[in-house]
A and B are shown apart, each in its own frame.
Chain A
Amino acid sequence: MAEALVSVTINGRRHALWGEETEVLLTVLRDRLGLTGTKNGCEVGHCGACAVWVDGLPQLACLTLLGSVADRTVTTVEGLAGWWRTLNGNDAYHPLQTAFVDNGAVQCGFCTPGMLMAGAALVRDRPGATAEAVRESLAGHLCRCTGYEQIVRAVLDVAAREEDPA
């Protein structure tokens, strides 16, 4: 009863996964599919390092059950650039990934995948977002290294560009 066949599209590829419906998506991604870009920082919802998109909305993989993503779409940090390329057909990386590098928003990099997924959803949905909106959207993400300033700046950069593509 607890096991089932779950069909889910991850980073554009259909997967049919046999397993416990109540297993968390975090271990499915990391341990079964080798998608280790999604990080396990705390395993209980307190750090944001495991954020992925479920049908385009940021969600914490450590709190998301495999059964809840049945017949839905999951995007992890590994799929972010691919998603962007299918939309635009040009850039190798999502502009936020480049902006993180340019702004020095990555140090140890552990928080980066979660920050990118939350930040990329924001710049997609709210071009021209204010610094306050950026801070609010990253409110569930801890960074031990950067002091957050560079991360906020990187997201603001891209949010401004998305609003006014010059």
Chain B
Amino acid sequence: MSSTAWLRPRTAAEVTMALGLPGARILAGGTDLVPNRTWELDTGTTWVGIGAVPGTREVRCDAAGRWEVGAAVTLAEVLAHPQLGRHYPLWMEAMRAVATPEIRTQATVGGNLCVDTRCRFRNQPPIWRSGLIPCFKSGGDRCYAAPASRLCVAMLVSDSAPVLMAMGAEAAVAGPFARWIALADLYSGDGDRHLTLNPGEWVRAIRLPAKPPLGAFRKWRPRATMDFPEVDVAVSVDCDEEPRVVRIVVSAVGPVPVRATSAETLLESGPWTSERLAEAADRARAAVHPYDNGQLRVWGRQRAVHGLVLDALRQVASAVVEKGAQA
């Protein structure tokens, strides 16, 4: 195996500079990057750690009551935090659904958002792949999952992405032009280069709203642990706004989380009767077209979208009733 250097810059500006080196990548927990190197899926030659940069390992609450969590904070630290669980139970559910206890000890908040996309035709050992002509993501000229597509459609598998999107969270992008972006704007839609980050840019922290909306999360996968999602659904509603703000996010069906906007519009006004919830789930299902690159069949995943959205909406509806709000 060729050698990989590991730099540990001490300031955000040094990280950005280090990312200018050829083959440079951020190394966070390494639970995605390391196995990808082992299987020769990632051939980066310089790894840039971010944990030594001030603030990246911090959790703090600003004057407006918004919590900011550094990109290098681990999932286990988030789950064990004395306050975060109380404020953001939905995010906790997604964090607990990631991988396994050992991996959550190592994996980070930033790494979970930036985790590489996956595909059944690529995330395989080198000897398996040696029998295939390379696809787009392996530097080739085709896609096995979507032969008509001109772009790689590998899946975003981050469990926290759909939930943070539904919650209206933001990400701090560090680099030459530091800025806050809505989480949805982090993903490009191309499974090969799935982040919108420009050269030298990286995620420094995330920020969660002071008053998170009510929500529900569902993850569908072959086994109840360890497996990556085959479908993720995150739903949220904010009844304090008029009309209500409804977010229905379906993920792990392509390179970006999908907003089921037609279903959202339906539920923004009017009563949430069981018929209308079922209608919303139908609309969500119609809006989502999983590609054939997961472990499970496309038709099953599409049916799952319907079931999970309906289930999540029912949970949110009863939470709204419990809270005494009008729905």
Chain A positions within 8 Å of B, measured between CB atoms, are 1-3, 20-22, 24, 43-46, 48, 51, 57-60, 62-65, 67-68, 118, 136-137, 139-140
Given A21-B6, A57-B105, A58-B102, verify A44-B38 contact (CB < 8 Å). yes
Given A46-B226, A140-B99, verify A58-B105 contact (CB < 8 Å). yes
Shortest A127–chain B CB gap in Å is: 18
Shortest B125–chain A CB gap in Å is: 8
Contact B3 A64 (CB under 8 A): no
The 6 closest A-B pairs by CB, nearest first: A140-B100, A44-B35, A139-B225, A22-B4, A2-B3, A2-B5
A and B contact pairs by CB, cutoff 8 A, 23 listed: A1-B5, A2-B3, A3-B3, A22-B3, A22-B6, A43-B38, A44-B39, A45-B35, A45-B99, A46-B226, A57-B105, A58-B102, A59-B102, A60-B103, A62-B34, A63-B35, A63-B103, A64-B30, A64-B106, A68-B30, A136-B101, A140-B100, A140-B103
In the complex, what distance in Å separates the CA atom of A65 from the CA atom of B5? 12
In the complex, what distance in Å separates the CA atom of A3 from the CA atom of B105? 26
Instruction: Kindly report which residue of chain A lies nearest to residue B100, judged by CB atoms.
Output: A140
Identify which of residues 200-237 in chain B touch chain A, using a CB-to-CB cut-off of 8 Å.
Answer: 225-226
Shortest B256–chain A CB gap in Å is: 25
Question: Does B47 count as interface, using CB distance less than 8 angstroms?
Answer: yes
Further pairs besides A22-B47, A48-B100: 20, Cβ < 8 Å:
A20-B4, A24-B34, A43-B38, A44-B35, A45-B31, A48-B102, A57-B105, A58-B101, A60-B103, A60-B106, A63-B31, A63-B35, A63-B103, A63-B106, A65-B6, A65-B30, A67-B6, A140-B99, A140-B101, A140-B225
Q: Give every chain A residue within 8 A of B99 (Cβ-Cβ).
A: 45, 140
